[in-house]
């Protein structure tokens, strides 16, 4: 086995989102960086996750809009789905984005790219296909892979996952999805909109168990309208594969559900079992996730970790942010803490569910105040016929924004404002004071904030004070006397005589001058209300 002589300042294991961001961050700081990837840089997000799934959902949404266009007065003919063309669109999206994550782009940033399988051989050594690489610091970013439960008959059924469903050359007739979480609901709805008969089997009492129950119910109804059959309290216990497809047996509510295509969407397992973590002195938890401290440092003080192999939420945007923190901590010796509280998340069903911060439903302990604006009262939603959602805020003392949930089209975009408010400890007064464009779906959060401020102004103690002020200002004695300034104009009035008129006033907000209207009374105004 050969050994390189010069240690890397940072050796990154994995070329997904966390690895790419961590490597480029360290290189931009001036470190000597190498990234090891056994397959393709870009990771799950580019090749089998975020990018292809959102391209697929975009096509499915067009199919759904075509079907409901008659509701808005647009009648189209029969709808046909060209699955091959849909997959071509998916591949085009991937290849358009791929250069941003390519080895060539990494090298442009000063990152060396090593192809092969990486395995620790000691606390400061990594072997890559027969060559040992010493390092000063390392970043683990090997990600996660779809979980497959140990169900009788499942392995023989050759199920698809979110990584392999892209190999389908034809649309399924009967698609059964194990799991009613984000991935299961997104892909289940998409294939139903393409024309497949879809059944989602969820072991729990409802789909999307991590989201606000009201939000999950809105999505449940939407999936049902699209033809998805949702069976909750149905825990899969066995699979009986056949010549074409098979049957899933469930417990809880006993049922046999037939399929020709089986998709497993039951979470993700960290890729940590074959990289020699024991030799590096890196500890993992019982589920295989790498144990990290608040700065993302592992039990080996020379190694950090970021992304889906840690216990933190498995979200692409969080992987990137955490990798940047971990890389700068590693190469500069900083102690920056990773953000774990204000983490936005989006389920890209139609309608979307977007949430951040404190839960907007009761979960025990001290409960925040919840303010909701239904989208039946959001004008943009009304104009588009999309009033099924809502915008909801969780508030703390003084009206501080602690969290929020939005259900509706493009909810993920509307959530950015809420995430900023939570991060910077803003209040509903701050949201109310920011002028929002009209009509937009952002009006939902804005009007929820306005509703709460108005509620606070209606408190008896406040109304007594405001009533007293108004009564006092009704009294003529409270009016300050001001003689209006005058100018003599050379223009004549309608009678042909010279006229004296008050000077124009200037609106302090716009800088535009508005001339006062001359009084028709022989007595000039005695006072100006301030």
Instruction: Supply the mean pLDDT for the chain.
Output: 91
- Residue among 288, 344, 356 nearest 316 (CA): 344
CB contact at 8 A, 394 and 369 = yes
Euclidean distance between CA atoms 236 and 265, whole angstroms:
12
Average pLDDT over residues 492-509: 42
Q: Which pLDDT score is estimated for 485? A: 58
CB atoms within 10 A of CB 465: 11
Percent of all residues in the chain with a pLDDT value above 90, rounded to a whole number: 84
Euclidean distance between CA atoms 358 and 286, whole angstroms:
27
* Residues 6+ positions from 123 with CB-CB distance below 8 Å: 279, 280, 281, 300, 302
CB contact at 8 A, 446 and 437 = no
List pLDDT tens digits, range 196-243: 999 999 999 999 999 999 999 999 999 999 999 999 999 999 999 998
CA dist 63 → 67, 68, 141, 220, 226 (Å): 6, 9, 37, 19, 11
The structure's pTM equals 0.88
DSSP 427: B
Q: Which pLDDT score is estimated for 479? A: 67
List pLDDT tens digits, range 52-61: 999 999 999 9
Q: Order across the sheet with 197-201: list the strands.
A: 229-231, 197-201, 174-178, 261-264
Query: Which pair of tokens denotes residue 88?
Result: 């071509």
- Residue among 166, 194, 249 nearest 64 (CA): 194
Which residue in this structure is represented by tokens 């390519």? 102
- Residue among 455, 454, 399 nearest 425 (CA): 399
Q: How far is CA 428 from the centre of its chain?
A: 21
CB contact at 8 A, 300 and 123 = yes
The DSSP element (H or E) to which 34 belongs, if any, is strand 33-37
């Amino acid at each position: 086995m050969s050994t390189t002589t010069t240690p890397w300042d940072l050796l990154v294991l994995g070329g997904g989102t966390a690895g790419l961001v961590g490597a480029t961050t360290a290189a931009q700081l001036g470190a000597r960086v190498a990234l090891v990837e056994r397959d393709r840089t870009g990771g799950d997000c580019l090749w089998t996750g975020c990018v292809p799934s959102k391209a697929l959902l975009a096509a499915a949404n067009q199919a759904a809009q075509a079907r409901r266009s008659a509701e808005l007065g647009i009648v189209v003919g029969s709808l046909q789905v060209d699955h091959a063309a849909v997959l071509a669109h998916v591949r085009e999206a991937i290849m358009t984005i791929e250069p941003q994550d390519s080895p060539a782009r990494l090298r442009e940033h000063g990152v060396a790219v090593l192809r092969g399988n990486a395995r620790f051989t000691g606390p400061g050594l990594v072997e890559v296909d027969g060559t040992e690489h010493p390092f000063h610091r390392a970043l683990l970013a090997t990600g996660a892979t779809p979980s497959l439960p140990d169900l009788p008959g499942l392995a023989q059924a050759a199920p698809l996952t979110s990584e392999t469903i892209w190999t389908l050359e034809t649309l399924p007739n009967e698609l059964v999805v194990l799991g009613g979480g984000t991935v299961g609901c997104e892909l289940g709805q998409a294939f139903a909109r393409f024309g497949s008969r879809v059944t989602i089997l969820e072991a729990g009492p409802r789909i999307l168990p991590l989201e606000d129950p009201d939000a999950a119910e809105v999505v449940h109804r939407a999936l049902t309208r699209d033809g998805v059959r949702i069976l909750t309290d149905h825990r899969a216990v066995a699979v009986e594969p056949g010549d074409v497809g098979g049957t899933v047996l469930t417990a809880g509510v006993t049922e046999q559900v037939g399929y020709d295509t089986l998709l497993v969407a039951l979470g993700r397992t960290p890729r940590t079992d074959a990289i020699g973590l024991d030799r590096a002195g890196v500890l993992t938890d019982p589920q295989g996730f790498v144990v990290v401290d608040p700065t993302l440092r592992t039990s080996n003080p020379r190694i950090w970790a970021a992304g889906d192999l840690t216990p933190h939420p498995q979200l692409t945007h969080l992987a990137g942010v955490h990798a940047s923190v971990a890389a700068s901590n590693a190469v500069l010796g900083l102690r920056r803490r990773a953000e774990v509280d204000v983490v936005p998340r989006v389920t890209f069903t139609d309608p979307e569910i977007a949430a951040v911060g404190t839960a907007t439903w009761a979960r025990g302990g001290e409960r925040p105040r919840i303010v909701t604006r239904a989208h039946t009262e959001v004008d943009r939603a009304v104009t588009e016929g999309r009033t099924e959602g809502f915008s909801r805020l969780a508030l703390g003392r003084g009206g501080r924004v602690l969290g929020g949930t939005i259900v509706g089209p493009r909810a993920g975009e509307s959530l950015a404002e809420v995430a900023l408010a939570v991060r910077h400890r803003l209040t509903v007064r701050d949201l109310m004071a920011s002028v929002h464009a009209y009509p937009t779906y952002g009006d939902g959060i804005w009007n929820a904030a306005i509703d709460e401020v108005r509620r606070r102004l209606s408190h008896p103690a406040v109304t007594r004070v405001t009533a007293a002020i108004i009564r006092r200002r009704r009294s003529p004695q409270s009016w300050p006397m001001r003689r209006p300034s005058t100018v003599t104009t050379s223009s004549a009035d309608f009678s042909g005589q010279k006229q004296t008129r008050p000077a124009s006033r200037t609106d302090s907000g716009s800088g535009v001058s508005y001339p006062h209207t001359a009084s028709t009374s022989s007595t000039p105004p005695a006072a100006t209300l301030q």
